[in-house]
A and B are shown apart, each in its own frame.
Chain A
Amino acid sequence: MYKSDFVRQLQTPGGTIQLRRSIQVDYTLAVILLILCGVGLLIIYSATGQSVFYVRRQLTFILAGFFIMILFAQFPQRFWERWALIVYLIGVIALVGVLQAGIEINGAQRWLDLKFTRLQPSELMKICVPLMISAYIAKRSIPPSLKHVSAAVILISVPVLLVLRQPDLGTALLISATGFFVLFLAGIKRRYLIGAFILALAALPSLWFFVMLDYQKQRVLTLLNPQHDKLGAGWNIIQSTTAIGSGGWSGKGWTQGTQSQLNFLPESHTDFIIAVLAEEFGLIGVLILCMLYTMLIARCLYIGLNSLTMFGRLMAGSVAYTFFIFVIVNLCMVSGLLPVVGAPLPLISYGGTAIVTLFAGFGIIMSIGNESKKSRSVS
């Protein structure tokens, strides 16, 4: 697009010539991320029955993600703003590709086989969508007009509908949430918000009758009464609440959780990993984890608040809340407050695409942070 994107920027707005001598890293963000990933590795090791295999693989993903984050952080924020559409389109094409040639696992087509690794494009969309919407809205009038909101809604709907086809209702809802955050932070008028809220309520019945598949409805019903089918649909939620509850204040100790070690807990190293942590490290462990998450989110918001551009604010803010909503949805799902949807716990759950996507997102936020730091040092 722009030649200058790929050339080192020698000129800054102030006109003084500055050479970038070192790589740009937000150390606060990097340290919190690494601590969270370390915690994740510990829990994965325990949850997989002390398997070094999974830990090694996850570590590979973390290192790859970390490298991508650092790489992305080196690009100027403008680069991301300009390339957002391309990234978005690549994501959408990947989603179409999944529906055409994806690998089917457990009745859902979510993976794309890239020979050397498997890619989950719906995970990528969790970053692509806020990036796209932030870039689109930032260029328009703030607060966005109805026309631009409508355009944004269409941009959100395309990947959401594609993900729904997989089918993956949970991820589809999460992706729409990420787009919505951008609009909200952009100052979308209150009447639109109220309108959207009423529309969502009205859409619920049609969602139940026309969109949701039987197994998805089953999950909602199970949430309301897990005891109904203890050994079937209710099993996951009964076992995970048992794991969490039996952990108590301080937990049973690392690798000592009976629910997870004896395989009572399903998906213990992926979506239900928080139950392992809660069982082995107790409420204290959960609180520490939440504190780390809060610090991470606060750092992202800080970067957003300090950004000089609307794109920077919207992108950093929406990624922060996207991250928050992932955490909350997972915590609710495992503790039986929300139906079981395929939502991993960010940075802790085992899974390559999710980790790499998150790091990529944080890389963009670092890039935003670098820009504002640079400006400050200049002025």
Chain B
Amino acid sequence: MDENSAFVNDTEMKQLFSRRVFFASMLAIMMGILVLGRYFDLQVNRHQDFVTQSNNNRVLMRPVSPPRGLIFDRNGELLADNQPTYNLTIVNERSSNLEVLIEDLQKLINISPQDIAQFRERLKRRKPYQNIPLKYNLSENERSILAVNSFRLDGAEVFAKLTRYYPQGPFFAHVIGYVGRINETETRNIDTSLYRGTDFIGKLGIEKYYENALLGKLGHEHVETNARGRVMRSLSKEDPIPGANLKLYLDANLQRTAQEILQDRRAAFVAIEIKTGGILAMVSTPSYDPNKFVLGISQTEYSELVKSKNQPLFNRAIRGQYPPGSTIKPMFGLIGLQNKSITTEHVIDDPGFFILQGVERPWRDHNSEKGGHGDGIDLAQAIIESCDVYFYNMGLDIGIETLASFSSKFGLGQVTGIDLHGEQPGIMPSKLWKKHTLGEPWFDGDTINVSIGQGFMLTTPLQLAVMTARIASRGSHIVPKLVDSKNDLHLKSDSISLMPVDIQAEYWTYMHQAMQNVVHTPQGTAHRIGKDLNYTIAGKTGTAQVISIDADEEYDKTQIDQTQWDHALFIAFAPVEDPEIAMALIVENGEHGSSTAAPIARVILDSYFKKVEKKMLVDR
């Protein structure tokens, strides 16, 4: 190639190249400006939108559940506690494949088909980013297996959670109740925003009645999560407010004594502190372990409880409705005195039976085979020996309407207003009641039955205890309550403004004396518990018929099923001079108040006064 021509060519080539470079550079600069415009648009114009989006990405608001309020007895003994349990939970959104994850977990630890079924049920109701429990109460071994494998179990997490624990087991089941997992019906009835941090809700007893106070207020924690949802750090935290601690009037020792002595009998016992109306003990036996319900009771265990003839799940103290029998007599006696139907001097002759004009069948006294209580029976004696005929006469004189209306002042025929759900009102029958419920007119015979606490009349053990407390307090309008204070703040009772029972003072004294003599005189039906007493008891026995016995028939327990035997009842308060405690006890099919119920009541009362004595000694 010629050197010169190449040089000429080269100049032209260089110019051509320069033009192309210039053109390409212009294009490049335009493209560059376009791209930088895009970055400017993203980073400046739409900056705020993306900041929000990036924060939404990473910041998660997590509910922090408040610890549930604790429950103590009057002496500070813990009745309901929170203990950490470790639960395996899954966040559906974070698992790449839920089925594979569950399979993997099953290979590592034992997960029952029931757990998985429940998990799937919950899965439907929860949002995909929520923690859904798969298995509760992991053992230490299971926890360590999961911890070691956690790196390949995305979406699964082990959470420590405070879970309700009832250290006293079955002793307080019917009073405290229990918490359980929130079910679908409850979900519809609660403000779910308050329950974001917990799976539990009070199902029964105090746990249910004081749910709002015990629950506490939810806290919130803003946490930063990575793309897989793992929490990296906490950004800010609003602490939860723990649920209120409840202090009960309940005396744990008394409760345990009563529970232990009643054991597996079908029975109920209620004791009320007269000064306050506070429930000192409320026992319904047989009982059950509430802890089993907290983390989910197995189907077999549950059906065992439900099917049991002794109905351990049934709270007899507030839901059991029994004929009060003779325990009603002191109250009726007071009504008769106040109503001027009788006087303290009024006497009758008791041949052992009572004949109502126009009715062929006689009403018999319980000791009719002995020929009755004899002649010259006054009210006191009728109480002490439990003479039925006296009350047949008096009941007819007073009339059912007065009996019914006056009885309601003692708390019968209506709920007492205790701080528990599910209380039964019993039945205090009247003419109107019978017409409404049975559509039949009232007969005198009905009044006679009612006058000894039989017939249509039904009461709960709690109602009998309240009645006894009102008698003991000479007519104070005592309303039973379980909770004394919330977070050491005394709960004011709204009963103070209510009218006391209007009965003359001397009649109260008279009746207290008569009831004391039931225990403290040899003729008294409860005389056998009056021995070696260093305090005074005023009481009244009762025996309630479960089935009606024809006049010609004899009650023979060997002939009838045990569940048809008479119920044994006993009401009492003590000490008579300055009553502190009132109680009612019913032993189903216990036959006799005097032989079965009263001795049990004595043991319980002894325990109460021994403790009181000890306490007084300590005080000195």
Contacts and interface: CB of A to CB of B under 8 A. Distances in A.
Contacts of B40: 283
Interface residues of A, number: 46
A336 B16 CA distance: 36
A247 B21 contact: no
A245 B36 contact: no
A310 B13 contact: yes
Contacts of A242: 50, 53-54, 57
B118 interface: no
A316 to B, nearest CB: 10
Interface of B is mostly: helix
B20 A248 contact: no
Interface in A317-352: 317, 321, 324, 328, 331-332, 335-337
Given A245-B47, A328-B35, A305 B18 contact: yes
Interface string B1-26: 00000000110011011101100110
A248 B35 contact: no
B232 interface: yes
B306 interface: no
A144 to B, nearest CB: 11
B42 A142 contact: no
A264 B57 CA distance: 8
Nearest to A244: B42
Interface in A121-142: 142
A262 interface: yes
B36 A286 contact: yes
B46 interface: yes
Contact of B20 (A184, A290, A337): A184
B6 to A, nearest CB: 10
Contact of B35 (A249, A262, A313, A337): A337
Contacts of A241: 42, 50
A367 interface: no
A245 B42 contact: yes
B227 A264 contact: yes
Contacts of B42: 241, 244-245, 278, 335
B223 to A, nearest CB: 11
A13 B14 CA distance: 20
A103 B227 CA distance: 29
Nearest to B52: A246
Contact of B58 (A244, A264, A332): A264
A46 interface: no
Contacts, number: 129
Contact of B21 (A245, A246, A317, A332): A317
Interface string A153-170: 000000000000000000
Contacts of A321: 24, 28
Contacts of A305: 17-18, 21
B24 A184 contact: yes
Nearest to B53: A242
A187 B38 contact: no
Contacts of B17: 185-187, 304-305, 310, 313-314, 317
A75 B58 CA distance: 53
Interface in B200-252: 224-228, 232
A97 B40 CA distance: 44
Interface string A277-317: 01000110011001000100100010011001010011001
B32 A328 contact: yes
A317 B53 CA distance: 42
Interface string A247-274: 1110000000011001110000000000
B551 interface: no
B43 A249 contact: yes
Contact of B28 (A185, A278, A324, A332): A324
B51 A335 contact: no
Interface string B392-433: 000000000000000000000000000000000000000000
A194 to B, nearest CB: 14
B31 interface: yes
A243 interface: yes
B39 A244 contact: yes
Contacts of B18: 305
A149 B38 CA distance: 36
A143 interface: yes
Contacts of A243: 54
Contact of A264 (B9, B25, B46, B226): B226
A278 B43 contact: yes
Nearest to A297: B28
B49 interface: yes
Contacts of B36: 286-287, 290
Give the top 8 A-B pairs by smallest Cβ distance, nearest first: A245-B50, A246-B54, A262-B226, A187-B16, A245-B42, A263-B227, A246-B50, A283-B43
Given A263-B228, A282-B43, 4 more contacts: A184-B24, A246-B50, A262-B58, A328-B35
8 contacts: A186-B20, A258-B58, A258-B224, A259-B57, A305-B17, A305-B18, A310-B17, A314-B17
Interface of A: 142-143, 181, 184-187, 239, 241-249, 258-259, 262-264, 278, 282-283, 286-287, 290, 294, 297, 301, 304-305, 308, 310, 313-314, 317, 321, 324, 328, 331-332, 335-337
